[in-house]
Amino acid sequence: MRSTTVAAAMNVVPIGLGYLYIKEYSRFALAFFGGATGLFTAVVLTGLLSLGSCFMGSCSTAERLLVWLPVAIPAILSLITVIDACKRRPKARKRRR
Whether the predicted pLDDT of 89 surpasses 60: no
pLDDT tens per residue across span 25-43: 888 888 888 888 888 887 7
Whether the predicted pLDDT of 94 surpasses 70: no
Q: How many domains does the chain have?
A: 1
pLDDT of residue 71: 77
Buried b or exposed e, range 32-64, using 16+ CB within 10 angstroms: bebbeebbeebeebeeebeeeeeeeeebeeeee
Confidence at 49, pLDDT banded by 50, 70, 90? low
pLDDT tens per residue across span 62-85: 777 777 777 787 888 888 888 888
